[in-house]
């Protein structure tokens, strides 16, 4: 008797749970749809005044000054400078950490390093901003005296440190996903660990490692606070990392925090920039996930 009761109860809970779970799932969908809707609407308003060609291909970004100019390329170049720079720092070291953890590290060390990496990933980004401003930039100044106080290099470096745990952990996953039998096949031919890693392990998980890079770069593209603090807010079309620059995200912060009146064209610019940023990271993530899936086959 008791048994039947408990089965009945379990069924009831099951019935009640289903709509709850479905609602939770729906909620995220609605939020995503809402974000896309808001972005698109305001962006549409913006493009009613400013031609899309001027926005995408203009080389001067001066929306808050007279005469106004809405060329987004300086912001894009700033963003690229930071993300590519961050990649240059994070990708080689991330791969090395991943290789070390899967192939060389003793189980005990692995269990110690993994959580530390996760702590690194959990530090608020503003802290990285201070780190850049008060530690990295002064350090760079001793080597390169003519570097500006706000510079892309220091921003790229701290963003690199920020995405490092992500690269390391994704590379670690990629290497772990490789069947042991493949490595053993290589070792059985008398290869050294280094030869196995360079000759078999890395080529075999190349797709997944690339996907890890793209996802990490996409994260760097979207990074805001650390970059705003480290690299400044001086939109200019440059690829010199010693200059002060402004990224797309820093610009949005500037508008959101400033006294730009809501509804004006200056205000709408931030939506257009945000929309472009969204499109960029969306495409990057999509490519990353596609490559991941390919790698899994």
Partner 1 sequence: MILLAQDFKFASNTKTERGVTAGNLSDVYQEIILEAKDVGAFYGKKEAIKNVSMEILKNKATAIIGPSGCGKSTLLRCFNRMNDFVPHFQLTGALNYRGRNIMKSDAMFIRSQIGMVFQRPNPFPKSIYENIVWGPKIHGRKNNLDELVEDVLRKAALWDEVKDRLGELGTNLSGGQQQRLCLARTLAMGPNVILMDEPCSALDPKSTAHIEDLINVLKDEYTIIIVTHNMHQAARVSDHTAFFYEGELVEFDATENIFTRPKHKKTEDYITGRFG
Note the residues at the interface with partner 1 (CB under 8 A).
Answer: 107, 179-182, 184-192, 195, 199-200, 203-204
Output the CA torsion sign for 122, 168, 224, 50.
Answer: negative
Residue 120 vs 191, nearer CB to partner 1: 191
CB of 204 to partner 1, least distance (A): 5
Residue 145 vs 179, nearer CB to partner 1: 179
218 with 162: CB under 8 angstroms?
no
Residue 142 vs 181, nearer CB to partner 1: 181
Beta bridge partners of 70: 61
90 with 161: CB under 8 angstroms?
yes
Task: Show the tokens assigned to 30.
Answer: 């609605």
125 with 224: CB under 8 angstroms?
yes
Residue 203 vs 264, nearer CB to partner 1: 203
**CB contact set of 206 (below 8 Å; sequence gap of 6+):** none
CB of 112 to partner 1, least distance (A): 17
Distance CA 230, CA 148 (A): 10
CB of 101 to partner 1, least distance (A): 16
CB of 294 to partner 1, least distance (A): 12
């Amino acid at each position: 008797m008791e048994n039947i009761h408990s089965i009945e109860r379990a069924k009831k809970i099951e019935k009640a749970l289903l709509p709850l779970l479905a609602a939770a799932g729906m909620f995220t969908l609605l939020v995503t749809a809402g974000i896309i809707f808001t972005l698109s609407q305001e962006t549409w308003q913006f493009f009613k005044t400013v031609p899309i060609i001027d926005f995408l291909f203009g080389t001067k970004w001066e929306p808050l000054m007279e005469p106004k100019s809405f060329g987004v390329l300086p912001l894009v170049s700033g963003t690229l400078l930071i993300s590519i720079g961050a990649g240059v720092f994070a990708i080689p070291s991330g791969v090395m950490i991943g290789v070390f953890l899967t192939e060389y590290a003793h189980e005990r060390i692995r269990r110690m390093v993994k959580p530390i990496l996760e702590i690194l990933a959990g530090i608020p980004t503003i802290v990285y901003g201070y780190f850049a401003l008060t530690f990295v930039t002064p350090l760079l100044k001793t080597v390169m005296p003519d570097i500006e106080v706000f510079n892309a290099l220091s921003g790229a470096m701290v963003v690199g440190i920020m995405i490092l745990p992500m690269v390391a952990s994704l590379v670690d996953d990629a290497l772990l996903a490789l069947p042991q039998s493949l490595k053993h096949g290589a070792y059985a031919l008398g290869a050294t660990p280094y030869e196995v890693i360079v000759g078999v392990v890395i080529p075999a998980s190349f797709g997944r490692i690339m996907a890890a890079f793209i996802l990490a770069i996409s994260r760097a593209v979207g990074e805001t606070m650390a970059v705003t603090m480290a690299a400044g807010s001086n939109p200019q079309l440059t690829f010199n990392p010693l200059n002060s620059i402004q990224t797309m995200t820093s610009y949005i912060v500037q508008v959101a925090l400033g006294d730009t009146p809501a509804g004006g064209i200056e205000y709408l610019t931030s939506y257009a920039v945000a929309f472009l940023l969204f499109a960029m990271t969306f495409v990057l993530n999509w490519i990353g996930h596609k490559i991941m899936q390919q790698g899994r086959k």
